[in-house]
Amino acid sequence: MTTQDAALRFQLSAARQTDAANSFARTGLIRITEPFPADVAERLHHHLDSGISWGRTVSQGEKSAWDLTPEAIAALDGDKEKAFLAAVHETARDGFQFLFDSLLVSDDPSARNARGLLLDRVIDALNHPTSLDTFRTITGAPDIRRVNGQATRYLPGHFLTSHDDGIDGENRVAAYVINLTKGWRTDWGGLLQFQTGSGDVPLALKPGFNTIHLFRVPQLHSVSYVAPFAGVPRYAITGWLCR
């Protein structure tokens, strides 16, 4: 790993780790500001903004997704797009559904190395022992052994309905969201919402820039519908810390 790639590792001072661990133990949810040097955050934002060929993903049930290639997205126009959105919205009305742009990162380090995107190197860095130890300290889970991830882009009309991230066999300890969005307004939607069993939303977090949201799994949450007048894409790198 190069010196630049080493800067992608998730590492905090001992004092910040202690504060984060205490907060996570109390609430199961923390926001960490400026986890990366400013130049690294800018490099990541630029990569998501101009260095990725985005696909689009929608749910096909609790455990599967249908991914559209960039070519398939371009072919969705006119009546085809209306029919596609009608089907997505029909599922979302009473069940689990999502619609956003994404690029998955392989769980295989050799595949990440072969593709060689900055995004792949981020996931490599999050799996470095230094990063894993930081995650273990904060979450109080010494058995975390791997981090997976994807890049996400929410455009107007995109959303993610309520779910808790709990899937048998995935061994998820916590979810993370590396926020890389500039100039987002609350009115634009795209909020990370945490819900009670009765559907109330006691907490909603606005997308930000160079921040990490880390929350315990399972925990009911959603991403609210992005308004048609949203002025910029909502960018993030997201995934799970797994045993």
Band of residue 181 on the pLDDT scale cut at 50, 70, 90: very high
Mode of pairing for the β-strands spanning 29-33 and 159-163: unpaired
Query: Peptide bond preceding 218: is omega within 30 degrees of 0, i.e. cis?
Result: yes
**Tens of pLDDT along 184-222?**
999 999 999 999 999 999 999 999 999 999 999 999 999
Mean pLDDT across 53-69: 88
User: Which pLDDT score is estimated for 2?
Assistant: 65
**Tens of pLDDT along 141-157?**
999 999 999 999 999 99
Least confident of 4-13, 87-96, 223-232: 4-13
CA 131 to chain centre: 17
Q: Tokens for 101?
A: 């742009």
pTM over the 0.85 mark: yes
27-42 as b/e, with b when 16 or more CB fall inside 10 Å?
ebbbbbeebbeeebbe
> How many other C-beta atoms are found inside a 10 Å radius of the C-beta of residue 68?
17
Give the 3-state DSSP-derived string for the chain, with helices as H, strands as E and coil as C: CCHHHHCCCCCCCHHHHHHHHHHHHHHCEEEEECCCCHHHHHHHHHHHHHCCCCEEEEECCCCCEEEECHHHHHHCCCHHHHHHHHHHHHHHHHCCCEEEEEEECCCCHHHHHHHCCHHHHHHHHHCCHHHHHHHHHHHCCCCCCEECCEEEEECCCCEEEEECCCCCCCCEEEEEEEEECCCCCHHHCCCEEECCCCCCCCEEECCCEEEEEEEECCCCEEECCCCCCCCCCEEEEEEEEEC
CA 142 to chain centre: 22
Mean pLDDT across 90-95: 95
User: Which pLDDT score is estimated for 62?
Assistant: 65
CA–CA separation, 102 and 79 (whole Å) = 24
User: Which pLDDT score is estimated for 63?
Assistant: 63
Angle CA(193)–CA(185)–CA(16) in degrees, nearest 5?
Answer: 65
List of residues 6+ apart from 72 with CB closer than 8 A? 56
Mean pLDDT across 79-90: 96
